[in-house]
Chain A
Amino acid sequence: MCQNSNNQTKNPSHFESTDPTDESPTHRDLLWEDYRNLIKDMRFFDPHIHMVSRTTDDYQMMAKAGIVAIIEPAFWVGQPRTGLASFKDYYSSLVGWERFRSSQFGIKHYCTMGLNSREANNERLAEEVMEILPLFAYKEGVVGIGEIGFDDQTALEEKYYRLQLDLAKKTNLPVQIHTPHRDKKRGTERSMSIALEHGLDPSFVVVDHNNEETVKSVLDQGFWAAFTIYPFTKMGNERMVAVVEKYGPERIMINSSADWGISDPLAIPKTAALMKQRGIPIDVIRKVTYQNAIDAFAKSGQIDVADFETESKPDPSAKFHGNSILRGGQQPVMNKNSLLIE
């Protein structure tokens, strides 16, 4: 659904803007050496990242930067799916291969399951997806129904959003709401009022991709407010610092939403470094980059912090029952600065 197909210079992101700006994403220019000491010994939890579109290099850097656990919401993979089997395989990969791949790098992988708003517009397929969704919602490590909500704000999007809110109630899982990029303010309000109409407890609902214009209403109504640090189209992290300074850390969390667009899987550690630099207290940083996300999604009963809260760094070459979990004896960490590949 790229509305900007003549623009060959940039990949439109998952949150494509109708008016892409030339805003310079300062955090992308931040080098590891510049900020590693600022985040030393911090742990991070990224509650929204699409690893299926990311590389092993990303996993390695994320682990190195202190990201210990992530949530991968089911989403639109960049082009529309044409059949149910693609959905089934995609959902399976979120609880199968991708979960395993993540574990190879010492990162605990959770996911949310849902029919994304774009593909809710394909009614024939959406009907079929709704039939298999409960099968996946009950699976281990599924911490919510998501990401669901509005994109174009069509009647079909609303229909499947409502059906999935009911599924969330039935399964007693939190909801992860994707708010639209266009007409965001109204889309956000509409998403929240429908959730309340369906009797959802706002403390079970994470409203994602907020900005300065939406955050107050989200917090005032008792929802969780998530912010996406995503170059060009979402929050820059300097703006994020200002939001935290203004609203404090309660019920606010940040994520990277890194996907197949120009995005940054290290958005959280970099934002934490920037907050530290700006003198934001460490307990505030911890809340918005770690604890709040855990508190929100642990309502699923699927998060045991013991799985990733170890004092020692996870050892990716650790053995399980005497076996390396790595395929073919791969070494999880290689020296990328070396010319030699052994």
Chain B
Amino acid sequence: MANLSTNFSQFLFEQCTNKEREWLEEKVKSNLLDLMTAFVAAPRFLSKKNISYDSRSRGSLISQLTSFEVNGWNLVRLARVWLLLHLPSEPKEQYIKNIETLFDTAELNELVALYSALPLLSYPTEWLPRATDAVRSNMGFVFDSIALQNPYPELYFPEPAWNQLVLKTIFNGKPIHRIYGINRRRNEDLSIAVFDFIGERSAAGREVPISVWMLISGFTMESMIPKLFVMFSSEVQTEKEAAALVCYESKDPKIRSLLTKYPDLELSIQNGDLDWSKLEPIPE
């Protein structure tokens, strides 16, 4: 129960009716089986209204993990995560078995709650196989629950798994700026994969969001120059801007020098008027 905070409980109860609060408190005092059944049966006893979440609560639910956010959640999802945090974490084998059982029999919304809870569960690295499985999910809500606004991947995913998560987010047409740590965990392998992906999409006459160039920035190679030329001559202003940012941030003098032909863009970057957040806001 390491990650259960009074702030979290208080926040949850603020969203509940008296009857709902009584039900929740009764369930966490009960035996293990009742607690696990409550996780499943929550929608029969709690409303599915969206919770009210404002700046007052932001970052304060779990003091050890300020990036844990619950905006956009409904009460059932919040309560399910809270119930999970009451599972006794000792003995370890039993704890893991209980969580695995809930995973194995979970329906769509239960899966969402389970993946949302991963960064708060005990023995965080034990859940890596489950978390990477969620990235393979074709169920949009399940994928979102691990990929977007979830601190777990940034904290625990090894690089290959992290890269797959980012690539699949792009492939699924979801907003990469909502992946926690997207900026902090940029890497060369990911840059190459994203650049190849852009090429494949382009060959198929399909587009990718311009913001994905941010992932390439800082890891540029000479082979990218022709593509940057194309972007600079594009009629779409954001493509020019993305190319300018890539050049500006490049460690390769050849690529960096491409920007000299576009002094107005260079000036905008130097003045702080143009950065990646203008193309898509990246929360830090």
Which residue numbers of A lie inside 8 Å of B, CB to CB? Answer: 88, 92, 95-97, 99-100, 132, 135-136, 138-141, 301, 320-329
Contacts and interface: CB of A to CB of B under 8 A. Distances in A.
Contact of A132 (B105, B148, B172): B105
Given A95-B107, A323-B140, 20 more contacts: A92-B104, A92-B105, A92-B106, A95-B108, A96-B108, A96-B111, A100-B108, A136-B105, A138-B44, A139-B110, A140-B43, A320-B141, A323-B148, A323-B173, A323-B174, A325-B141, A327-B140, A327-B172, A328-B173, A329-B172
B236 interface: no
Contacts of A328: 171-173
Contacts, number: 68
Nearest to B72: A321
Contacts of B175: 322-323
B172 to A, nearest CB: 6
B144 interface: yes
Given A138-B37, A328-B172, A321 B107 contact: no
A96 B44 contact: no
20 contacts: A92-B105, A96-B107, A96-B139, A97-B138, A99-B107, A100-B139, A100-B141, A132-B105, A139-B40, A139-B110, A140-B44, A320-B141, A322-B175, A324-B172, A324-B174, A325-B140, A327-B138, A327-B140, A327-B172, A329-B173
Q: Is the interface of B mostly helix, strand, loop or mixed?
A: helix
B41 interface: yes
**Closest A-B pairs by Cβ, 7 of them:** A95-B107, A325-B140, A329-B173, A100-B139, A140-B43, A327-B138, A139-B107
B165 to A, nearest CB: 15
A257 B175 CA distance: 40
Interface-central residue, A88, A132, A136, A140, by most chain B CB under 10 Å: A140
Contacts of A139: 40, 107, 110
B109 interface: yes
B105 A138 contact: no
A301 to B, nearest CB: 7
Interface-central residue, B139, B141, B144, by most chain A CB under 10 Å: B139
A329 B174 CA distance: 9
Contacts of B174: 323-324
Interface in B106-141: 106-111, 138-141
A328 B173 CA distance: 6
